[in-house]
Amino acid sequence: MNVLETPPLPKAKHEARVLLLNHRLNGCASLIRGLEVAGFAVTGIAVTPASSTDPVHLVVVAISGVDDSACSVVEQLRQSERFAATPILVISDRFDPSVAEEYLHLGATDFLSQPSAGRVLSGWCERILNSQQSDWLFEEYVRERRRSGAFDRVIIPLSLALFGERDHGRMLETILLEAKALCLADGGTLYLRTSADTLEFTMVHNDVLGISLGGSKGSVTEFPPIPLYRPDGGEPERRYIAAYVANSGLPVSLPDLYDSSNFDLSGPRNFDTKFGYRTLSILAAPLKNDAHRVIGVLQLINARDPLTGEAVPFDPQQQEAVESMCRLAAAGLEAYARMQKLKEQISALHLKIDEAKKREQVSQIVDSDYFKNLKEKARQLRMKTPRA
Q: Which residue, 170 or 377, has its beta carbon nearer to another protein?
A: 377
Strands 41-46 and 17-23: parallel
Q: According to the binding rule CB under 8 A, does residue 12 interact with another protein?
A: no
* Contacts of another protein in 131-170 (CB under 8 A): 166
SS3 314: coil
Of the residues 195, 221, 273, 347, which one makes contact with another protein according to CB under 8 A: 347
CA–CA separation, 79 vs 60, rounded Å?
16
Q: How far apart are CA 167 and CA 282, in angstroms?
A: 28
How crowded is residue 346: how many other Cβ atoms within 10 Å of its Cβ?
Answer: 10
341 binds another protein (CB under 8 A): no
Distance of CA 310 to the CA centre of its chain: 13
Q: Could you say which residues in the range 263-322 bind another protein, by CB under 8 A?
A: none
Binding mask 222-261 for another protein (x = CB under 8 A): ----------------------------------------
Is there binding between residue 342 and another protein (CB under 8 A)? no
Answer for which of 130, 343, 345, 368 binds another protein (CB under 8 A) is 343
Beta pairing partners, 21: 46, 61
Is 381 one of the binding residues for another protein (CB under 8 A)?
yes
Provide the minimum distance between the beta carbon of 360 and another protein in the complex, in angstroms, as a whole number. 10
Nearer to another protein, 291 or 351 (CB): 351
Give the span between the Cα atoms of 298 and 192, in whole angstroms. Answer: 9
User: Is-contact 40 122, C-beta < 8 A?
Assistant: yes
Closest by Cα among 27, 19, 78, 26 to 48: 19
- What's the closest the beta carbon of residue 216 comes to another protein, in angstroms? 15
Contacts of 81 (CB under 8 A, 6+ apart): 5
8 A C-beta contact, residue 249 and residue 292: yes
Binding flag, residue 352, another protein (CB under 8 A): yes
Cα separation, 20 vs 43, whole angstroms: 7
Residue placing its CB nearer to another protein in the complex, 217 or 372: 372
Span interacting with another protein, options 5-13, 196-204, 212-220, 358-366, rule CB under 8 A: 358-366
Q: How far is Cα 114 from Cα 94, in angstroms, rounded to an integer?
A: 5
- By CB under 8 A, is residue 349 in contact with another protein? yes
Residue 338 within binding range of another protein, rule CB under 8 A: no
Q: Is 374 in the site for another protein (CB under 8 A)?
A: yes
* Least distance from another protein to the Cβ atom of residue 170, Å: 13
Which residues, listed in sequence order, are joined to residue 304 by a DSSP beta bridge? 311
383 binds another protein (CB under 8 A): no
Residue 353, interface with another protein (CB under 8 A)? Answer: yes
**Which one of 21-29, 41-49, 157-165, 345-353 is the stretch in contact with another protein (CB under 8 A)?**
345-353
216 scored as a contact of another protein (CB under 8 A): no
CB 288 within 8 A of CB 326: yes
- Give 22's contacts (C-beta < 8 A, 6+ positions apart): 28, 45, 46, 47, 62
Q: Which is nearer to another protein, 116 or 363 (CB)?
A: 363
Alpha-carbon Rg for the chain, nearest whole angstrom, is: 35
In the complex, which residues of this chain contact another protein (CB under 8 A)? 166, 340, 343, 347-354, 357-358, 361-362, 365-366, 370-371, 374-375, 377-379, 381-382, 384-388
